[in-house]
A and B are shown apart, each in its own frame.
Chain A
Amino acid sequence: MDIYSILSHPFRRKILLLLDKEGYISYTELMDRLGLETTGQLNFHLKKLGTLINKDKKSYFLTEDGKRVINLMNIDKKILAGEDIEYLDKVGSEINRVGVIICKCNTEISNLISINALENYIKRIPNVVAVKIFDNLCQEKNLEKITKWSKDNYLNKIVIAACSPKTHLHIFERIFDGVIDKVNIEIANIREQCCWVHLKEPTLALKKAQILIEAAVERVALQKDVQVKTVKIEKSCAILGGGIAGMTLALNLSRAGIKVYLIEKTPTLGGKIARWSKIYGMGDCSICLMSEMIGEVVKEKNIEILTNTEIEKVSGEVGNFSIDLVKKPRYVDEKKCTGCKRCIEICSIEKSNQYEFGLTARKLIYIPYVQSYPYAPVIDQEDIETCRQCRICERACNNNAIDLDQKFEKIRIRVGTKVIAIGADFYSELKPYNHNPQNDVIISPEFERILSADGPTEGKILKLSDGKPPKSISIIQGLGPFDYLAEYCGTLAIKYLESIYSQLPDCKINIFFDLNKIKKSTGFMLDPSDERFHYYENIEIIEKGNKKIIISDSEQYPSDMIVLNVNFVPNKDLKELRKTLDFTLDDHGFMSEETLASGIFGVGSIKGPLDYNSVISSSNDVAIKIISLLSNDYLITEFSGIEIKEENCGLCGLCILSCPYNAITIEADKIAIDKFKCKGCGTCVSVCPTNALDLNIDTTEKILKSIEVFSKFNLRPKIIAFCCRSCGYGAADEAGLKKLSYNPNIFIIKVPCTGRVDTSLIFKSFELGFDGVMIIGCRKDSCRYINSVDQVRQKVKLLKEVLGPIAENRIIRKSLSAVEGNKFAEIVNSFYERLSEEIKNET
């Protein structure tokens, strides 16, 4: 029977699917359902279906063969293209046809254990329909054979008893693509975790291999279909922040053909760097560079610039976000304005200019700076009430460009991904240092303005108090809460040294470093040979008359001008942004790296202080990531993670508390999971007190079944080991690769993360006769799932406190890296010794 030719026609597929769905269907109903007009066509197809269907008095139904074919159709998605897809998503297939392949691994396995005995045992396991033995499975010609073999036997699930899944699982997934779902391929690791580590005990190794294979068969039989999620990718990107990082990224993306929305909160592009004098190491004045870059950005057709705009709401998921924006009124129509500045001249109210860090004053209606884009005046939101009472500028404008009654504008954009590039803030608690620009105690941004050609002193280093050049300048380094920024401040100090020296060669310069901070940071070296550098532990600025004196560790340094080199601190808008955009912060409050998969990227100093070159290179890196994400038409994920049963959820929120990725949310009395954020660690499953949550591949049912099968091994003391799939399982494999020997009474259960291990699994193991439980996870600082390993540590700690000494000796939790096979063997052996001792004491 050529099943593929039967299935080649959509009508025949539909007949089978309808019969499968509804059981019995009469001839006339089939005509209706298929939309056929003539009986001849239907008769032909029914005849073609042959032995797959049968007919009783009234209606047609599926035979056993037919049911098997239906099962196969579920597997072979490629046959079922087009209109029949809706039937494909039905959960789980009832029939399990498991095939077992044993690999002798070039006598590595067969030398130790009898393959015949293994085969005979496996044939008796329920659900197993075929067993095949290969000398060396991973050879190309054998790989071709097994796909054909599994098709011939109508297998829908397969167990491969061979080497570790870490070695060849990906190859099997590839060759079974389109024949058997990859979730239905299970590997029984009889080489690294059985034969190679029990070389001295062949009989026990055989028994263990049998049990390992049986457990794998049971597990794969419990596997249900996994749904596939598809998202159409919107080929556009929203960039928040129009500074150097945002603009570099925007240029990169737009040149790759991606539509970019460049969203800037302030009225002009340019960011902080536009206010700097020079760029360190480039010698170029930064505003020249920036205005050139702004010019390029404006020229790009793919970039839409939205200044004075903020994000209000974000919804959707990676590949398809919908963002609501609010454009604040500028009160000046950019299209009508010619930039004549008449309105500015006529305005009579002044206030301090935030673009000069308050060093100079500006009018209420103003242009931020000469090179700002868009080049049109603006009135700040906070001043508009004052302006509405005056309206002199409105009358003065010849082009009627000024409209003081402009309204907020709402814009909705659809993007595939979003980037935050809003930069950082400066440390602002400067009271102890008597910060006062009018008294020549200034911070580094203000000094940058003094050095800039368009600044308050037109680029000459002059004291702001009396307009004379200073005879001595002191620079105090690294003010701020962090110590890891010393390197950045160092380059800044060198830049200032060069600038001061070129203008005032006779000026005496002292640079003060905080010794405590340098000690902690590894990036900066002491240079005691330079007499301009001073390293202090305590520093104080005092004023005697009109002189300022720095007292550093009881030595006095009189200074005409003091520059406080302030550190970057996290942008204060980050906390507000977190409400709408989903990302996490690191210990210092900067954006952390961990959230890239959720469709949010961060570039520039939002992730910590960076100099110009690092900003450019990090922007380029992120551009590549975004281009690769958006280059596909669809984002297809075969989701392996959490499945939620809403009807069982009582909304207690424990899962939300434990999730390391904030992937679970409660919205409108419903629990929801962001499938792109979820990495499938299963930590939430371990705390869920109801049956609402479960992993869809490593289900609780499968873990319990494994424990049950493993308990058949009847030698004491028995040990069960929960190993996380990245480190613990890797360490066990490593022990095998090194052919270290440990006791065969240990059974390893692979869990995605040890965070999945909950107390009931430990109790269940004890109940089923295991004497010891081992939990082997990643090291605390290198857990693949952020802090999940810590959560299991807490559980075990509390469990030991509650159960007392019984648990103390019977449960161990260790952290190993995947290369510490020898430690793994050591732990198993010493634990085995300890448990043997315990059992002796018991009896």
Chain B
Amino acid sequence: MKPNFLIESLTSCSGCISTMISLDIFPQFLDKVNLVRCSFMRDENNISENDIALIEGCVSEEKQIDILKNIRSKSKRVIALGTCAAFGGMLALSTVKEAEPISNYIEVDGIIPGCPPPSKLLGNCIIRLLENKEIILPEKNVCADCEFRTDNIESKFMKRINKLMPREYNLDIENKDKRCFLERGILCLGPITRDGCESKCIKLNLPCDGCMGPIKNDFTSNAINFLSTVNLAKGLRKYKGIFYRYSKPKTKR
């Protein structure tokens, strides 16, 4: 008996589902499941009973809430796919549109974070879902696997953080500076971001911008806790993009 899967896209760039489709295990996945609905691939009106619902994208319109509630009532497990569904995502930066995680409206049984989720993590999660097991996410932060991590804490946090990016000519991967970004005065959100991406950006000489989302609490409060402890330059304190990049704090409804 194949498990019934449902894949729904809310407000999103479809990056998560594209990543999923491009996984090497996706053909086997299709063989093993009965895909009852996948609005990205085919038009579908009705929402039927299913075992696992994967939802990508954030909630930004009223009607999406009804869809969500409908899905919840017909699914055994609901999984938030990608950072938008899990935390709100990039749209949280917008001042016009609301961007809320689906967990603000329905109960969620698990999240697969990332913008888009790293293929290795996503593949592993999907295999576990097929086996009807709980999703396992790394419980450490990006620093844990970072090749530039320094254990010299004094030098790590001494410099004033006044840059968002390394200078352009430093993008040369071959001759990159092998020091921790924070040590160089460049804002890296690795400490407050969940591991699982194998620090891909950092390997490309780009600081972590927190797409994997927080491990505990919410992104904004972690960012404030972190950046109030380190020496953050005045210019960056006003730069709200840092604090709302992938989610806005949940407020009273």
Nearest A-chain residue to B237, judged by Cβ: A801
Other-chain contact of A802, B214, B224, B229, B251 (Cβ < 8 Å): B224
Q: Is the CB of B225 within 8 A of A653?
A: no
Q: Is the CB of A794 within 8 A of B250?
A: no
B204-241 CB mask vs A (1 if < 8 Å, else 0) is 00000000001111101110111111101000011010
A689-B149 CB under 8 A given contacts A651-B143, A654-B229, A802-B243: no
Residues of B within 8 A of A797 (CB): 228
Q: Is the CB of A794 within 8 A of B144?
A: no
Nearest B-chain residue to A793, judged by Cβ: B228
Other-chain contact of A687, B226, B240, B252 (Cβ < 8 Å): B226
Residues of A within 8 A of B139 (CB): 647-648, 690-691
Other-chain contact of A759, B141, B220, B232, B250 (Cβ < 8 Å): B220
B192 interface residue per 8 A CB criterion: yes
Q: Is the CB of A651 within 8 A of B144?
A: yes
Q: Is the CB of A798 within 8 A of B216?
A: no
B31-39, B68-76, B80-88, B150-158: which lies at the interface: B150-158
Q: B92 → chain A, closest Cβ, in Å?
A: 13
Complex Cα gap A795–B222 (Å): 10
Residues of A within 8 A of B144 (CB): 649-651
Complex Cα gap A802–B251 (Å): 15
Residues of B within 8 A of A687 (CB): 225-226, 229
Q: B241 → chain A, closest Cβ, in Å?
A: 11
B142 interface residue per 8 A CB criterion: yes
Residues of B within 8 A of A794 (CB): 228-229
Other-chain contact of A795, B143, B191, B214, B224 (Cβ < 8 Å): B224
B140 interface residue per 8 A CB criterion: yes
Nearest B-chain residue to A656, judged by Cβ: B153
Residues of A within 8 A of B220 (CB): 759, 763, 802
Q: Is the CB of B151 within 8 A of A760?
A: no
Residues of B within 8 A of A669 (CB): 151
Nearest A-chain residue to B193, judged by Cβ: A689
A798-B140 CB under 8 A given contacts A658-B229, A689-B191: no
Other-chain contact of B224, A648, A759, A766 (Cβ < 8 Å): A759
A383 interface residue per 8 A CB criterion: no
Q: Is the CB of B215 within 8 A of A763?
A: no
Residues of A within 8 A of B145 (CB): 650
The size bracket of the interface on B is 35 or more
B190 interface residue per 8 A CB criterion: yes
B146-167 CB mask vs A (1 if < 8 Å, else 0) is 0001010100110000000000
Residues of A within 8 A of B110 (CB): none
Q: Is the CB of B143 within 8 A of A652?
A: yes
A767 interface residue per 8 A CB criterion: yes
Other-chain contact of A769, B157, B190, B229, B252 (Cβ < 8 Å): B252
Q: Is the CB of B221 within 8 A of A766?
A: no
A760-B143 CB under 8 A given contacts A791-B228, A791-B229: no
A762 interface residue per 8 A CB criterion: yes
Residues of A within 8 A of B217 (CB): 758-760, 763
Complex Cα gap A651–B141 (Å): 8
A236 interface residue per 8 A CB criterion: no
Residues of B within 8 A of A758 (CB): 217, 221, 225
Nearest B-chain residue to A763, judged by Cβ: B249
A799 interface residue per 8 A CB criterion: yes
Q: Is the CB of B140 within 8 A of A648?
A: yes
A657-B225 CB under 8 A given contacts A689-B215, A690-B216, A763-B218: no
Complex Cα gap A647–B61 (Å): 40
Q: Is the CB of B151 within 8 A of A652?
A: no
B100 interface residue per 8 A CB criterion: no
A651-B151 CB under 8 A given contacts A657-B229, A689-B226: yes
Residues of B within 8 A of A768 (CB): 252
Residues of B within 8 A of A654 (CB): 191, 226, 229
Residues of A within 8 A of B151 (CB): 651, 653, 666, 669
**Residues from 796 to 813 in A contacting B, C-beta threshold 8 Å:** 797-799, 801-802
A448-468 CB mask vs B (1 if < 8 Å, else 0) is 000000000000000000000
Nearest B-chain residue to A768, judged by Cβ: B252
Q: Is the CB of B191 within 8 A of A650?
A: yes
Nearest B-chain residue to A791, judged by Cβ: B229
Q: Is the CB of A689 within 8 A of B153?
A: no
A686 interface residue per 8 A CB criterion: yes
**Residues from 179 to 201 in B contacting A, C-beta threshold 8 Å:** 190-193, 195
A658-691 CB mask vs B (1 if < 8 Å, else 0) is 1000000010010000000000000000110111
Residues of A within 8 A of B224 (CB): 759, 795, 798-799, 802
Complex Cα gap A797–B232 (Å): 13
Complex Cα gap A648–B144 (Å): 9
Residues of A within 8 A of B195 (CB): 650
Q: Is the CB of A691 within 8 A of B215?
A: yes
Q: A276 → chain B, closest Cβ, in Å?
A: 39
Complex Cα gap A760–B191 (Å): 16
Complex Cα gap A759–B149 (Å): 26
Complex Cα gap A794–B232 (Å): 11
Q: Is the CB of A690 within 8 A of B141?
A: yes
Residues of B within 8 A of A657 (CB): 153, 157, 229-230
Could you say which of A652, A691, A768, A798 has the most chain B C-beta atoms within 10 Å of its C-beta? A652
Residues of B within 8 A of A653 (CB): 143, 151, 153, 156-157, 191
Q: Is the CB of A650 within 8 A of B228?
A: no
Nearest A-chain residue to B149, judged by Cβ: A651
Residues of A within 8 A of B229 (CB): 654, 657-658, 687, 791, 794-795
Q: B100 → chain A, closest Cβ, in Å?
A: 13
Nearest A-chain residue to B151, judged by Cβ: A666
Complex Cα gap A658–B151 (Å): 15
Q: Is the CB of B225 within 8 A of A795?
A: yes
Q: Is the CB of A689 within 8 A of B228?
A: no
Q: B123 → chain A, closest Cβ, in Å?
A: 23
Q: B183 → chain A, closest Cβ, in Å?
A: 11
Q: A649 → chain B, closest Cβ, in Å?
A: 7
Could you say which of A648, A769, A802 has the most chain B C-beta atoms within 10 Å of its C-beta? A802
Q: Is the CB of B227 within 8 A of A689?
A: no
A798-B228 CB under 8 A given contacts A666-B151, A689-B216, A763-B221: yes
Residues of A within 8 A of B192 (CB): 689
Other-chain contact of B215, A658, A690, A762, A799 (Cβ < 8 Å): A690
Q: Is the CB of B243 within 8 A of A689?
A: no
Q: A364 → chain B, closest Cβ, in Å?
A: 41
Q: Is the CB of B240 within 8 A of A802?
A: yes
Complex Cα gap A658–B227 (Å): 12
Q: Is the CB of A650 within 8 A of B230?
A: no
Complex Cα gap A767–B238 (Å): 24
Q: Is the CB of B252 within 8 A of A689?
A: no
**Residues from 749 to 764 in A contacting B, C-beta threshold 8 Å:** 758-760, 762-763
Complex Cα gap A657–B144 (Å): 17
Nearest A-chain residue to B215, judged by Cβ: A690
Complex Cα gap A777–B63 (Å): 46
Q: A529 → chain B, closest Cβ, in Å?
A: 53
Q: A660 → chain B, closest Cβ, in Å?
A: 12
Q: Is the CB of B251 within 8 A of A766?
A: yes
Q: A647 → chain B, closest Cβ, in Å?
A: 7
Q: A542 → chain B, closest Cβ, in Å?
A: 44
Q: Is the CB of A689 within 8 A of B141?
A: yes
Q: A720 → chain B, closest Cβ, in Å?
A: 13
Can you name 8 A-B residue pairings with CB atoms under 8 Å? Answer: A652-B143, A654-B229, A658-B229, A687-B229, A689-B192, A760-B216, A760-B222, A794-B228
* Contact surface of B with A, Cβ cutoff 8 Å: 139-145, 149, 151, 153, 156-157, 190-193, 195, 214-218, 220-222, 224-230, 232, 237-238, 240, 243, 249-252
* Contact surface of A with B, Cβ cutoff 8 Å: 647-654, 656-658, 666, 669, 686-687, 689-691, 758-760, 762-763, 766-769, 791, 794-795, 797-799, 801-802
Q: Supply 11 further A-B pairs (C-beta < 8 A) apart from A687-B226, A690-B215.
A: A650-B141, A653-B143, A653-B151, A653-B156, A653-B157, A758-B217, A760-B216, A760-B221, A760-B225, A768-B252, A798-B237
Please provide the 4 A-B residue pairs with the shortest distance between their CB atoms, ordered closest to farther.
Answer: A650-B144, A759-B221, A760-B217, A650-B141
